[in-house]
Structure 1
């Protein structure tokens, strides 16, 4: 079998076959995906050659006015950055391409193709494993060399719909403690890929059953087994209430609503424990804020989750969820909240002027300070929050009733600093 470069992801770059020397081999995920007929919107090509890796990358970048960066000078790895993807050029590890392939993680990633000669190098029968839809390790030692490969196995099996070969699954289970040796940033990146994968729920459950993420996430809970797969059904329930829900638009933390809901599910219900887990993973402050907001919104729901939420409960849920609203809805639905319970809150959320879903205080802090002689400090924020809630649930309407409410609230307050 030969690969037609017109059908390759190569077509998304200006790269030509003549740009590669006859000593170069195409390897890695692009070769694997080409064999599977997987289409990509962006290119991630890997090339291996015995010598001159950095020089080749620099030459290609200069020829096409592309970006160029040396990733690892000692190991001779460089990257060319095109508008729609990257080309990584690396020095061959070992004295042959076969030796290089035997150092890789899984057999499906240990396939090389020499395009000039239309020659395959497949010493570990990775093409057969692809045909059998099987994910098989190259060796136990290779897993031990980079424990991130333990988590990557679940991501690849989900992405490519491969069944993990039993010996590989057993080897991964035996090496679970090694994942804690990996840098948090690498674990988080691999976990993020898995969370975004459409079939990621099954892989997450399988990984959690062997406690693969025990050093990174809170302990696996029994309800995860039902909640994770139920998130797919929750998408359908949400779309029945909001057909144009922007489920493909990332939240401000860069995650899709589904991925954010999945991670929130794995974080559990204890906000302090969840925050510590997010800190271990070295997530951004924005990511922490949104994920904790999703959990807070879930916790705000009343005990009766089968009846429509009243106005106060709608306000509380929307206020707590904030920018994570879509993910919070998905998680609530997956955990058994009836669609009718959230229907009105979802409808309100779509109206940017709705006072319940998108409230704002009827009076400003400056107005409160001037009119009631308040000192600047916490008391002003507390009163603004009370006014916002009162307006959202219909207790006040207009500035005059807001002033009356403020006066009554201040009179009932025990004291405030002077």
Structure 2
């Protein structure tokens, strides 16, 4: 039994409440969940406050219009959403839910599962089936949710539900962007993300939620690529998912970043959008060479715009944009081998604070580029990437001299020049040109 369910049963013992939605489904699948939904006859507010007091958590209203409250456990270990039972009738409530596998209920205290729409049978058949034809009309976001559930649980949309998802896809344009992002980010974070993107395509949803991806289809590239921009993008995404499991990178990419995404899951967004500016930057030079000059910088801004439209956090936007803006840099360094310490330092400065992430991302991009001379190019890139990641992992030592010390001891006035000199001293130390405080002072005087 999950912690959330156990806490709710203990705190609300004797109360009239139903466990509903995905929690019942997951229980039947033998999956523990940290988030459960309860349907309450009447006002859920006193129930929410009672549960919050019992676990020393927090209770707050999610939506006054629908009478929804959330209780969050200490340290965000789990949460429980409490909603008003429609018409104080569990059967009416279940009849208005999205899919049959989510339209089951169980008394909070335990007991027989109420299953008026055949959800248990659909679960055994591995099907996502809408409760009624009206379900996706009432809330077009359910078209996207159907795909998310299918991808996360390895289910199949039944024919009628698939047709309804396609028919109501355009309705998502009128849904709050935050709700769209909540579903889309789970699809993109799923183990079967490529299947999820295929389903989005099949049901006309990509054009609505990520039109930037559709525009990449048919954009041919140079001889060094074996795929068009769209299919290359999907291969980069696939390589990122593999690198998330790579023992060398798994710890870093498993760290939380923003919007309930790990660094690796956030990197998947960079994969999806890293070449999004190629359609508008494509050019064919005399002789037939294809170029995309500036697609890295334009793509970084486009990624910010896309994630801004979806109402993501600023941190996710900055992370994705940083990886895209610098996704070509490591490739350029391949032609400057062997790399000296100053070259490494300048790369680190350009890509901080995501130097290691950026480098790992370039590996995914390189592995997905298998045109002319691919094997030699990949090996050379991996050699450079190992150097860059090792440099990124080096501990940052405190400066040999602070700015106020330079003002006092070297007579350098506060201002832009001071900052430039401090930066140069750090580069010099990293390069091994200076190593002591006196070295730094002497060098600073030379730079004035």
In the superposition, the TM-score normalised over structure 1's length comes to 0.77
Map of 1:85-234 to 2, 5 A cutoff?
Answer: 85-94=78-87, 96-114=89-107, 118-204=111-197, 206-207=199-200, 210=204, 212=206, 214=208, 218-220=212-214, 221=216, 222=230, 223-234=232-243
Change in Cα spacing, 1:132 to 1:307, as seen in structure 2 (3 Å) is farther
Change in Cα spacing, 1:75 to 1:296, as seen in structure 2 (3 Å) is closer
Work out whether 1:256 is the aligned partner of 2:262.
Answer: yes
> 1:320 maps to which residue?
350
The 8 Å contact of residues 42 and 88 in structure 2, kept in 1 or not, is answered as no
Change in Cα spacing, 1:272 to 1:55, as seen in structure 2 (3 Å) is closer
> 1:351 maps to which residue?
394
Describe the superposition over 1:92-135 as per-residue Cα deviations: whole angstroms up to 9, x where unpaired.
22474232222222222111123668333223222122112222
Aligned counterpart for 2:66 among listed residues 67, 75, 78? 75
Describe the superposition over 1:151-180 as per-residue Cα deviations: whole angstroms up to 9, x where unpaired.
333332232222233443343334333333
Aligned counterpart for 1:24 among listed residues 17, 21, 27? 17
Change in Cα spacing, 1:113 to 1:139, as seen in structure 2 (3 Å) is same
Change in Cα spacing, 1:275 to 1:116, as seen in structure 2 (3 Å) is closer
Map of 1:322-341 to 2, 5 A cutoff?
Answer: 322-336=352-366, 338-341=381-384
Higher alpha-carbon deviation: 8-17 or 225-234: 8-17
User: What's the secondary structure of 1:16's corresponding residue?
Assistant: helix
User: What's the secondary structure of 1:89's corresponding residue?
Assistant: strand
Instruction: Measure the CA separation in 1 of the matches of 2:131 and 2:365.
Output: 39
Describe the superposition over 1:199-257 as per-residue Cα deviations: whole angstroms up to 9, x where unpaired.
334324543674536556733441222111111222355x24x6x73333223776312
Change in Cα spacing, 1:308 to 1:140, as seen in structure 2 (3 Å) is farther
Describe the superposition over 1:56-84 as per-residue Cα deviations: whole angstroms up to 9, x where unpaired.
44455556665433434453333344444
Instruction: Measure the CA separation in 1 of the matches of 2:399 and 2:182.
Output: 40
Instruction: Measure the CA separation in 2 of the matches of 1:393 and 1:29.
Output: 56
| Larger helix share, 1 or 2 | 2
Map of 1:389-408 to 2, 5 A cutoff?
Answer: 389-393=427-431
Aligned counterpart for 1:51 among listed residues 17, 42, 45? 42
Structure 1: segments with no counterpart, 5+ residues: 1-6, 353-357, 411-418
> 2:325 maps to which residue?
296
Change in Cα spacing, 1:117 to 1:364, as seen in structure 2 (3 Å) is closer
Describe the superposition over 1:297-348 as per-residue Cα deviations: whole angstroms up to 9, x where unpaired.
3232234759977245533443333233443233222112543331122223
The 8 Å contact of residues 300 and 313 in structure 1, kept in 2 or not, is answered as no
Change in Cα spacing, 1:279 to 1:381, as seen in structure 2 (3 Å) is farther
User: What's the secondary structure of 1:48's corresponding residue?
Assistant: strand
User: What's the secondary structure of 2:212's corresponding residue?
Assistant: coil
Describe the superposition over 1:366-416 as per-residue Cα deviations: whole angstroms up to 9, x where unpaired.
456567766544444444444544544556665677677667766xxxxxx
Report how far residue 35 of structure 1 moved: 0.5
The 8 Å contact of residues 129 and 157 in structure 2, kept in 1 or not, is answered as yes
Report how far residue 32 of structure 1 moved: 0.8
Change in Cα spacing, 1:168 to 1:334, as seen in structure 2 (3 Å) is farther
Work out whether 1:245 is the aligned partner of 2:251.
Answer: yes
Instruction: Measure the CA separation in 1 of the matches of 2:440 and 2:109.
Output: 78
Higher alpha-carbon deviation: 359-368 or 201-210: 359-368
Structure 2: segments with no counterpart, 5+ residues: 217-229, 275-295, 367-377
Higher alpha-carbon deviation: 217-226 or 368-377: 368-377
Instruction: Measure the CA separation in 2 of the matches of 1:32 and 1:348.
Output: 48
> 1:342 maps to which residue?
385
Instruction: Measure the CA separation in 2 of the matches of 1:63 and 1:400.
Output: 62
Higher alpha-carbon deviation: 177-186 or 128-137: 177-186
Count residues with an aligned counterpart: 393
Instruction: Measure the CA separation in 1 of the matches of 2:157 and 2:361.
Output: 28
User: What's the secondary structure of 1:180's corresponding residue?
Assistant: helix
The 8 Å contact of residues 261 and 330 in structure 1, kept in 2 or not, is answered as no
